[in-house]
Each structure stands twice: as structure tokens, then as C-alpha cells.
Amino acid sequence: MLDVRIEKGLVAEVRSSLPENGATVVDCTGLVVAPALVDLHTHLREPGREDAETIESGSRAGALGGYGALCAMANTTPVADSAAVVEQVFNIGRAVGLVDVFPVGAITVDLEGEKLAEIGEMHASKAQVNFFSDDGKCVQDSGLMRRALEYAKAFDAIIANHAEDRGLAEGGSMNEGEVSGILGIPGVPDEAEELIIARDLALTKLTGSRLHVPHVSTAGSVELIRVAKRAGVRVTAEVTPHHLSLTDTLVASFDPVFKVAPPLRTRADIEVLSAGLADGTIDCVATDHAPHAQEDKEKEFDKAPPGMLGLETALAVLITELVVPGRLTVSELVDRMSTAPARIRGLDGHGGPVAAGAPGTLVVFDLEARWVVEPARLASLSDNTPFAGRELQGKVVHTMLRGKFTVRDGEVVHGQG
């Protein structure tokens, strides 16, 4: 067991039996101290849908979930497709100060897939955007996708394309398979995702650019990414906690909380996704935290918008589903939720290691604590969690951002050293 001394926002020392010397002592006996988590895929809804989430409420949820950095997706109103909007998101995030908010810029104007957005201006802005996505919509035009990759290559930025072939996915609300056939709900086949990933991998190889594949959901997609990595294609990938833990059988309840894009797949897909995360084919876990106002989400299944909450449950879901059964070690968990996403996005000051000289941006969690998810107790303004009522193992105790507690003893705080 080691002691960690934090001074002036930095980790000053890490060794056994450090003298107190008047310092404030926080007893973390039996707890895991790790670099704070980093989420590459968060929907904060501000500007435009502050009834569903704000940057402040999303930051609170992130801090409670152990996060030190959130990458805010561009599908806001207005869309984050200009320097003005990404700077607005960046500035509000800094003013809130609970997590570092890094805006994601749109690939195309208004997410319409017709004309490239102001990628260069967003990169040159105060927000220094280097990650671009139309998430929620797929760039269908192959020529436009090629130009986006080529343009982003000029400053080594990353293009993250929502992989969904429009023609194959049209009208689908869940995974296409045995369950959709029984329920009579139109489905989205695996191939809707895999065709776009295959195309984007080919274009990435052609251009020598960087591609990030968000929310991988099928076994076939994992194999495509594995083959491309072996061939030297500059691709990284993420998987969500819900695609690692929930199957399409849950849709039999017709509860829209289980509607997500891409849809929940099968147990066989979960097995391959978990193995891909363990062996590094899939680089990291991202939440795809997608809050929706109650009046929007509580519609008939086919009419409800896709999306689930994720920030406050992600760590516990991964501990429960992967660490406890022995499919992922704690070190691998920390890598996939902190070190790897920080490395992909190039976020200095995030992702560890916990060593002298590193920023004091840390999470402290209890591997053994068990708790029941109660939507009313979550910090998000929305309550569309698929884990409501479920007992999970693993709980965040403290979160620190540059040496200041943002969460202490499970409660959000501001500015405490």
C-alpha cells in the first residue's frame, strides 16, 4: 500500500509511509487510486436542450462517475460546427470546473453530410478541437468522408464516423435478428454498421489519416478493426458499457430506455466485444452518455429517440461485468477507461500514471462496494438509465481535478484542496 501526496495540483510523492507534516490526510485504505477517467463520447445537450442536460449537470454526473475529462459531442442546437459554438462549450465547461470539457467538432455543416464544417477554424480556436464527429448521423458520402479524412490529416486530427448505412438501417429500431422477428419490430442488421466501418477503414488506409470508430456493437466490426490494425491502418475504437452488458432480449419489454443507436445486440456479440476490449483490438470504453427529457423518451418504442445515460454507472458496470468475472484486470480497466482514451485524444494532464510530477487528477474507488442504481439520485437532468434498480459492484468515493476535490465521499464539492 502506498501513500500519495498532492501539492499545488500535482502529485508530489508516491511511496509507503509518507510523514503527515501537517498535511490533510484522506484515508484510502482498501481503495483503488487511479488517474481520473476520460470519456471520448458524451452528449451534454447544451446549447439547445438544457431541459435534458446542461454542461453543469453533465459535469456533475461525470465527476460522480470518476471522470476528469468529457468530450462533448457536436449534435447540439446549434450544432458545434463552428469556432463560436465549440468555444462556447469549452468556456462553459471551464467555468463549471468540475471536469475538463473538450468539445467535439462536427464533420459536416449542421450534421447534414453535404458540406465540410469549419474543421480548420475549430482546430485553431481556443477550444483547439482535434476530434470531429457527426455522431448520431453517419457521413454517407464516400467522397466527402475522404475529404474529411484528408483535411483532418493536415493537423493530425481524428475523424469519428457514426457507422450506420442509411439504406440498411432505415426504419429499424432494434437489432435485426431472432428477437426482432418475434416482436415484429423492424431491425437494424449488423451489416449496416460493418459496411460503413469497412469503407471508412479503406478510406483511412488510402489517406493515411486517423479514424476512430465509436460505439462498436457487432462481432463482425471487431474483426474488421483487428484486421485493419494488423495492416497498419491508423484506427482506434471504443465500446460502450451497455453494449458490453445488455442484449436485445431486453427490448421485449418495449421499454424505450433500451433503445439505443447502434442497437443492443446479442450475447454472442457481447462475448466478442469483451474479448476485443481485453486484447486491445478495441482501445477503450466510452459511455455515449445520451440524456433525453422524459417527454421525449417515454414514447412508443419506434418513435422514442435512441440513447441512454452512462456517466455515473460506467465504472461499476465494467467492474461488475468484466472485472468481477475475471475478464479484465483492474489495471486493464483503468487503461481502457482513462489512459487509452486520453492517449487517443492527446489530452495532456489526463490518463496517468499516478506518479510524482503528474497532475493530481485522480479517481478513488471502492472495488467491493455494492449499490443499487436509483435514477432519482443521479445528477443528470434526465433519468433514462437502463440500469435502474440493478445492483452493481464498485463505487466512486473521491474524484480530484488538478489537486482539488470535485467529489468527496461520494458527494460533489467545489474547490476543496
For residue range 62-114, what is the model confidence (pLDDT) as tens digits? 999 999 999 999 999 999 999 999 999 999 999 999 999 999 999 999 999 99
Query: What number of other Cβ atoms are within 10 A of residue 189's Cβ?
Result: 17
> What pLDDT is recorded for position 257?
98
Give every CB contact of residue 140 below 8 A, 6+ residues apart in sequence: 113, 165, 166
DSSP string of 125-187, one letter each residue: STT---EE--TTS----HHHHHHHHHHHHTTT-EEE-----HHHHTT--EE-SHHHHHHT--E
Cα–Cα dist 175/249, whole Å: 10
Q: Is 156 a catalytic residue?
A: no
Q: Average pLDDT over the chain, rounded to whole?
A: 97
Assess contact for 139 and 355: CB atoms under 8 A.
no
pLDDT digits (tens, 9 = 90+) for 228-272: 999 999 999 999 999 999 999 999 999 999 999 999 999 999 999
Marked catalytic residue, from 190, 288, 366, 383? 288
Q: Which amino acid is at 399?
A: T
User: Which of 12-26, 175-189, 403-417 is least confident?
Assistant: 403-417
Cα–Cα dist 230/311, whole Å: 32
> What pLDDT is recorded for position 362?
98
Radius of gyration for the chain, computed over Cα atoms and rounded to the nearest angstrom = 20
Is the pLDDT confidence value at 367 over 80?
Answer: yes
> What pLDDT is recorded for position 20?
86
Share of the chain above pLDDT 70, in %: 99
**HSE (CB half, 13 Å, CA atoms) of 212?**
29
Q: Give the closest residue to 68 by CA, choosing from 97, 33, 31, 26.
A: 97
Q: Give the closest residue to 117 by CA, choosing from 126, 101, 129, 127.
A: 129
CA angle 304, 307, 313 (to 5 degrees): 135
Region for 410 from its dihedrals, namely left if φ exceeds 0, alpha if ψ lies in -120 to 50, beta otherwise:
left
Query: What number of other Cβ atoms are within 10 A of residue 69's Cβ?
Result: 26
- What SS3 state is found at 311? coil
Q: Give the closest residue to 309 by CA, choosing from 321, 297, 299.
A: 297
Q: Give the closest residue to 106 by CA, choosing from 84, 126, 86.
A: 86
Give every CB contact of residue 62 below 8 A, 6+ residues apart in sequence: 39, 42, 70, 98, 99, 311
Is the pLDDT confidence value at 354 over 60?
Answer: yes
> What pLDDT is recorded for position 135?
97
> What pLDDT is recorded for position 1?
80
Cα–Cα dist 80/64, whole Å: 26
Where do the DSSP E strands lie in 330-417? Answer: 362-372, 391-401, 404-408, 411-416
> What pLDDT is recorded for position 67?
98
CA angle 411, 415, 417 (to 5 degrees): 95
Assess contact for 107 and 161: CB atoms under 8 A.
yes
CA angle 57, 61, 65 (to 5 degrees): 165
> What pLDDT is recorded for position 248?
98
> What pLDDT is recorded for position 300?
94
Q: How far is CA 311 from the centre of its chain?
A: 8
Q: Give the closest residue to 401 by CA, choosing from 103, 86, 59.
A: 59
Is the pLDDT confidence value at 414 over 80?
Answer: no
Query: What's the sign of the alpha-carbon dihedral 17, 335, 175, 145?
Result: positive
Cα–Cα dist 220/231, whole Å: 17
Query: What number of other Cβ atoms are within 10 A of residue 48's Cβ?
Result: 13
Cα–Cα dist 87/342, whole Å: 20
Is the pLDDT confidence value at 141 over 70?
Answer: yes
Q: Which residue reads 467491493 in cell numbers?
A: 368
Asked if residue 353 has a cis previous peptide bond (ω within 30° of 0), the answer is yes
pLDDT digits (tens, 9 = 90+) for 31-70: 999 999 999 999 999 999 999 999 999 999 999 999 999 9
Cα–Cα dist 197/220, whole Å: 10
**HSE (CB half, 13 Å, CA atoms) of 67?**
35
